Amino acid sequence: MPSTSILVLLLSFATGCRLTRAESAGLLTSRSVLSRKVLPVTESTLIKPATGLTSAGYIALEDAHVAHNYHPLPVVIATGDGAWVTDVEGRRYLDCLAAYSAVNFGHGHPIPVQAAKDQLARATLVSRAFHSDQLGVFAAELTALAGKDMMLPMNTGAEAVESGIKVARKWGHDVKGIDNPSIVVAAGNFHGRTISIVSFSDDADARDGFGPYTPGFRSVPYGDVAAVEAACDDSTVAVLVEPIQGEGGVIIPPADYLPGLRDLCDRRRMLLICDEIQSGLGRTGATFAAEHVGVEPDLYLLGKALGAGVVPVSAVVGNRDVLGVLRPGQHGSTFGGNPLAAAVGLSVVRMLADGSWQRRATELGDVLGQNLRGLIGRGVTSVRQIGLWAGVDIDPALGTGRQVSQALMERGLLVKDTQGSTIRMAPPLVVTADELTWLVDQLSEVLGELR
């Protein structure tokens, strides 16, 4: 049984009453407490967040009370609008990360925000125990966008990856009759940080110290079709890859890589699973990055931009012959496919339907790429760019990616370092050509100061 003090605390929350010292000491019965008048919830009774803190104060609060699983730049963002964010002191920054592509359409885009507002006034969660009037419409239009006929709704990108793995294994058991199915993955991958996913990661920070690891995965060099084929045997049910490795520094594979995997999977009757959580939904200038080389996978793993930075929305998208292996009770999510997420996701799908965002990413990507390549030999050793996504390798003699990122922050630009000397750029698709030119000018000046 809970102690009296815990019961009193629960009663305090339940009734909205501030208990007296006598009540807190348990001297009065719970019945007398419950008989007291319940105070209305008003602005004065709500707990308000701390106000008036500086950036240093907010950072100190996080350091004290949030697990240290991230190492963010020392900027505290209060508001966002389009491609720009503003910190608590009122300084503005061009956001060139867009929450790892989750904010593809900019901060506060009116279409998904309005969709969320409208649905907030109706119903936000019913669970999958019942139907909603949002999920079916969202599913129909998302699958049409992808050229598929079924989807499995989830919330986060890592959930979509885990779900894709489960579907592939179930397909292997049920369709191919394999008792111990295996999946081939690529070295340098980033699919999330759940136990199964870090089990096939070669990122020491994500993997070390989290064993024992989930078996059933074989890792081979990225971009090497022959290595994938050599790793396959009769137990192999799928190949899981990112069409472009974002966390690796926007690593673009050879043009024949995905077509080669498609051919291999067709010949060996395996599933090709493309993790498009960062690369998909307009970022690269196409709805899906695999489209650039004419490849359609068996399963798309989607997330991030599917929720427009408003709510977490993810999905596994495929055809009935694969996703149809799932039966009631075999997989689920209380929040997956909730009406709020479905309404926002539907708004995103409709934004992408006419291809205008994809064309914008292509056109502006040309501006970004051309300007960045002009810095090669002037503090930059290599640039990889596709659409509005770029990996820029900084000359290690000048500094680390973190140091360059921090210097850009001081100039009003937010980027993210990765892999030591690389910085990633993924500005929202609402960014302008002038803003992109200014971005590269600032990088040029930072590199000049470091030389």
- DSSP, res 376: B
Decide: 404 and 396 in contact? Cβ < 8 Å: no
- DSSP, res 134: T
Any residues with CB less than 8 A from the CB of 259 and at least 6 apart, and which? 293, 294, 295
- Please compute Rg for the chain using Cα positions: 25
Catalytic residue among 95, 275, 393, 417: 275
Chain centroid offset of residue 103 CA: 9
Any residues with CB less than 8 A from the CB of 109 and at least 6 apart, and which? 82, 308, 430
Pick from 152, 150, 148: nearest CA to 163 = 152
Catalytic residue among 87, 95, 170, 190: 190
Decide: 164 and 299 in contact? Cβ < 8 Å: yes
Question: Hey, what are 179's tokens?
Answer: 């008792």
d(CA 357, CA 434): 18
**How are beta strands 271-275 and 299-302 bridged, if at all?**
parallel
DSSP string, 37-98: PPPP--GGGSPPPP-S--HHHHHHHHHHHS-S-----S--EEEEEBTEEEETTS-EEEESSH
117 catalytic, yes or no? no
Decide: 375 and 368 in contact? Cβ < 8 Å: no
Pick from 150, 100, 139: nearest CA to 305 = 100
Catalytic residue among 148, 170, 304, 416: 304
Decide: 178 and 170 in contact? Cβ < 8 Å: no
Query: Mapping DSSP to helix (H, G, I), strand (E, B) and coil, where does residue 294 land?
Result: coil
170 catalytic, yes or no? no
13 catalytic, yes or no? no
DSSP string, 234-245: TTEEEEEE-SSB
Residues acting as catalytic residues: 190, 275, 304
